[in-house]
Structure 1
Amino acid sequence: MAKDHPLLILASSSPWRRQLLRQLGVRFEATAPDVDETALPGEPPIDLARRLARAKAERVASMWPEAIVIGSDQVADVNGTILGKPGSRERAIEQLQQQSGQTVYFHTGLCVCAPGLDTPLLTVETVTTTFRELGDDEIRRYVAAEDVTATAGSIKSEGLGIALVESIQSRDPSTLVGLPLIALRHFLARVGIAVP
């Protein structure tokens, strides 16, 4: 594990983000930020990802002002339409039908708030994912096999969802899972947390 550092908090209830952050070998706590994830009228998908990542980090930082707080949020974008977390299997099926044969952009916002920073560190990483042409039967089998009701765009590329895609283009493979570790390592270094 990395050496001692100020309290580090992941502003997320996502088990996948916690698992990713553990890869960096830093001690951290996690808490749900309680932020409304509804898009603003006319808000572009990339702006929503950026706004939500910042809102989550700032919400938790307001409760623990001496902590370093990481906020992240992912938005799926198919032809400019935002695909959020489906919330139900029926909606997940609809989302996957909508993505069949399409190129989908998964925008992952990342924000770090820390004492001494005038403004939060903020970026958005985008993964370009091209889906195969998917039949209704295989979509239903996938949704029955893997719970994607709380996943943006109804796909878990780290699981069986990888079978639904033709290609994934990204400078950081962790971005598609929901926490861009390469950008995060740079941000943590800027606030004094060394990651070997």
Structure 2
Amino acid sequence: IKKGAGKKKKPCGLCEDVCPAGAVDFDQSDECIEIQVGAIILATGYDLFNPSGLSQYGYGKIDNVVLSLEYERLMSASGPTHGHINRPSDGKLAKKIGFIQCVGSRDLRNKSYCSNFCCMHSIKEAILTKEHDTEAEVYIFYNDLRAMGKGFHQYRIRGERQYGIQYIRSRVGEITQDQEGNPIIWYEDTKESKV
């Protein structure tokens, strides 16, 4: 057993002496503070699902297939395209954009549960797309739209009515590309029972 084990060491105090803001105070005691706020933001973080193992989606093989956060970066004024929604393959303005829901979730081969994130995130990205370019055609391919929070259903309706976002209840089978590098989404329309 080491000498002094179990005893709390007293800090040397050097950081308290040199901190120009006076932010270090070893004599401070614990306290509870109540404050009134308008909102609480829980920034829990998450890991992105890497769909490159799901070859049917073409991620990593087809240049114009991107993840939602990569797409958000393209739309950002501080991003590589300065807020213009340009295709990664050739820099041309993207005029038809499809968002595919439930990639990697609600699937027994990957995650069987719903992430509770994709639907509203895609609707937000779709609305921002239409605000960037009112002439863009925007499609959301979904299994079931899950708008679970307060006001989420109205937000979905707003996307459809005010922005012209087209929701397609479907199962995406594969993404291929034509000779010009345009992605082609092959899907079963589960509402109309057609491919």
Q: TM-score, normalised by structure 1?
A: 0.27
Higher helix share: 1
Higher strand share: 1
Q: TM-score, normalised by structure 2?
A: 0.27
- Between 1 and 2, higher relative CO (CA 8 Å, sep ≥ 6) is seen in 1
